[in-house]
């Protein structure tokens, strides 16, 4: 059973009576984010405000060039991504979820972008946790919103915990077997995995690109010191333009596993993800009418 419980300015996600993650949405924050995201031993797979980049927060969303405004850094001239409300919270079943609305507010107080984001957590064992992330970005007024190419962007962005980063002894691997920043940076792949040792546990976290996303399979932004992001906008010359009444929808699955990329069955779990999408698509098709058919 997946339970989602509000405690102050956090949503606590519990799966099978064990805490898996917390979503932080307080008004004092520069942006909402998911931290911690726990491995089977209870330690976090992601880092919050590490000393080298204090503006990195677990699993989060940000962009430094939104109509000329910075929603990446956390400085006097930066914008804020502000929690507006939770549209829906589903708790107590095999799938728990919440949907949140956020405003991207510039330093001058203007709402330059809005988003609706949904997290859906599956009731799976501690050594194979799954959650889905969807975000829909909208132009709030009758003018387009431009997301300029930049490496200071992540929709979403994951900051790995020490132990999973290449710098601290971990390994990055993509679907082609390319490794670490040297092999994976800018390379297109339907998934990427980071694994290593946290405490005494060999474990990892993988991100799966949804096949309906733009530029699938996405090119990845990776750094050996910890960031991982499906940043397709960085690797193109023109900006991403979100037109009025034409929102940008992005979807991903996250897989938190024990073992490395092989022991954690990352490639197989990604194929299961694709198969689940095919089953949904086939169930959405109208049934063929038996009228007029001959046996």
pLDDT (mean) for 142-167: 96
- Position 289 confidence tier, pLDDT thresholds 50, 70, 90: very low
The Cα 145–Cα 89 span in angstroms is 29
Q: Is residue 51 part of a domain?
A: yes
pLDDT at 280: 81
pLDDT (mean) for 254-262: 98
Q: Is residue 16 part of a domain?
A: yes
Q: Is residue 272 part of a domain?
A: yes
Q: Is residue 292 part of a domain?
A: no
- Position 237 confidence tier, pLDDT thresholds 50, 70, 90: confident
pLDDT at 283: 61
Contact residues for 139 (Cβ-Cβ < 8 A; gap 6+): 113, 145, 242, 243, 244, 247
**What is the reported pTM?**
0.94
Pick from 55, 49, 43: which is nearest to 18 by CA?
43
Q: Is residue 7 part of a domain?
A: yes
Q: What is the CATH number of the domain that holds 135?
A: 2.70.98
Q: Is residue 294 part of a domain?
A: no
pLDDT (mean) for 96-124: 98
pLDDT tens, 21-54?
999 999 999 999 999 999 999 999 999 999 999 9
Range of the domain at 138: 2-281
Q: Is residue 289 part of a domain?
A: no
pLDDT at 284: 57
Count how many domains the chain has: 1
Neighbours of 101 (CB within 10 A): 16
The answer to whether residues 68 and 77 touch, using CB atoms and an 8 Å cutoff, is: no
Q: Is residue 112 part of a domain?
A: yes
pLDDT (mean) for 256-273: 98
């Amino acid at each position: 059973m997946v339970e989602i419980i509000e405690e102050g300015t956090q949503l606590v996600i519990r799966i099978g009576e064990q805490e898996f993650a917390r979503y932080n949405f307080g008004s004092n924050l520069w942006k909402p984010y998911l931290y911690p995201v726990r491995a089977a031993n209870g330690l976090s797979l992601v880092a919050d405000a590490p000393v080298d980049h204090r503006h990195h927060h677990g699993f989060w969303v940000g962009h430094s060039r939104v109509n000329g405004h910075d929603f990446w850094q956390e400085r006097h001239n930066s914008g804020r991504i502000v929690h507006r409300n939770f549209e829906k919270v589903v708790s107590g079943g095999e799938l728990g979820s919440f949907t949140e609305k956020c405003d991207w507010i510039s330093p001058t107080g203007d709402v330059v972008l809005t988003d609706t984001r949904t997290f859906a957590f599956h009731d799976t064992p501690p050594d194979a946790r799954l959650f889905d992330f969807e975000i829909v970005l909208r132009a709030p007024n009758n003018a387009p919103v431009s997301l300029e190419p930049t490496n200071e962007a992540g929709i979403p962005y994951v900051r790995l915990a020490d132990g999973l980063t290449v710098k601290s002894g971990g390994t990055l691997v993509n679907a082609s077997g390319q490794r670490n920043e040297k092999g994976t940076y800018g390379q297109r792949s339907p998934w990427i995995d980071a694994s290593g040792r946290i405490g005494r546990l060999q474990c990892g976290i993988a991100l799966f690109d949804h096949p309906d996303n733009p530029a699938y399979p996405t090119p990845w932004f990776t750094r050996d010191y910890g960031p991982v992001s499906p940043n397709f906008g960085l690797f193109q010359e023109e900006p991403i333009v979100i037109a009025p009444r034409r929102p940008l929808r992005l979807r991903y699955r996250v897989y938190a596993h024990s073992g490395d990329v092989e022991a954690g069955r990352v490639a197989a779990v990604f194929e299961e993800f694709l198969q689940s999408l095919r089953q949904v698509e086939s169930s959405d098709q109208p049934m063929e009418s038996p009228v007029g058919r001959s046996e």
